[in-house]
Amino acid sequence: MKKFGCHVSIRGGYLAAAKHALAIGADAFQFFPKNPRSLSVKEFDRDDAEQCKHFCKENGLFTIAHTPYPTSITPHDDKKDVTISSLLNDLLIADTCGSAGVVVHFGNKISETDPLASYHLMLEMLNRVLSQWNGACKILLENNAGKQAALGTTLEELVQIRNLSDHPEKIGFCLDTCHAFASGLWNGNDTEILVEKANELGYREHLVAIHLNNSMHPYGSRKDRHANIYKGGYIKSNDLEDLMDAFKDVPFVLETPHEFGISHEEEIAQLRGLN
């Protein structure tokens, strides 16, 4: 049976987030471990986080966390230390909640003259963070839509960063379907080719979660705007379903919009009907 879920709020705490996910029919969920607009280090309620972990284990809930919006693994020099502290904080919170990983966006282009500068900085940041981290929770590198200098749009890049890091065993991947479509990585009807490449490169074996999102913009647009699975998107529903079948053992987490009158509960119910 495939696992389906969505991003949920921690407004009422971590345990409350897990209970909400279960109540809407999810068996997977994603959350921000702290304020999504801040890189501050959060003094969190460990008891609440531990209760979340036990609740998820008892109810078969898979969870991942997502770093706050300002997080970048290609930061300016004056942001390196605060970013590292924030990432370690995210990992600790997520690990205490029993999450499999913390999703981090691939980095951005930082130099017009040195094409490798961004990759070197990403490796520096990952090495500094993971040399201090010994928990079970992994950093999950997410593919980009390509809107900022087109870094992180290929499986080769993601795999190579993992391979070259000092701690590859602490790094996994999260595939975003909207980003893959927008960047040109996957056109919807070439899932077989995507899977073959993922297997050949060693990406597939370290794929921990999939962000299941449709795209409000056409293939190759490099625009990161999510659409609902069955309404308002450019990715055909049967193409998304083919991808789900190809990666059926990987949990699927919705990051789809609410403003069009479609709730995550409704979408999960629709997806559940595919099992």
CATH number at residue 153: 3.20.20.150
The confidence score (pLDDT) of residue 11 equals: 96
Mean pLDDT of the chain, nearest integer? 96
φ/ψ (deg, to 5) at 140: -110, 110
Average pLDDT over residues 121-130: 98
- pLDDT over threshold 90, residue 82: yes
Tell me how far apart the 2 most distant CA atoms of the chain are, in Å: 53
From the list 126, 62, 74, the residue with the least C-alpha distance to 99 is 62
**What span, in angstroms and rounded, lies between the C-alpha atoms of 63 and 56?**
8
Question: Number of structural domains, the chain?
Answer: 1
The confidence score (pLDDT) of residue 260 equals: 85
The confidence score (pLDDT) of residue 170 equals: 98
Average pLDDT over residues 40-64: 98
The confidence score (pLDDT) of residue 275 equals: 61
Percent of the chain beyond pLDDT 70? Answer: 99
> Which tens digits make up the pLDDT trace of 5-42?
999 999 999 999 999 999 999 999 999 999 999 999 99
CB of 142 within 8 A of CB of 178? no
**pTM of structure:** 0.97
> Which tens digits make up the pLDDT trace of 140-172?
999 999 986 679 999 999 999 999 999 999 999
Where in the sequence is the domain holding 202, given as residue range(s)? 4-272
First to last CA, the chain: 6
The confidence score (pLDDT) of residue 245 equals: 97
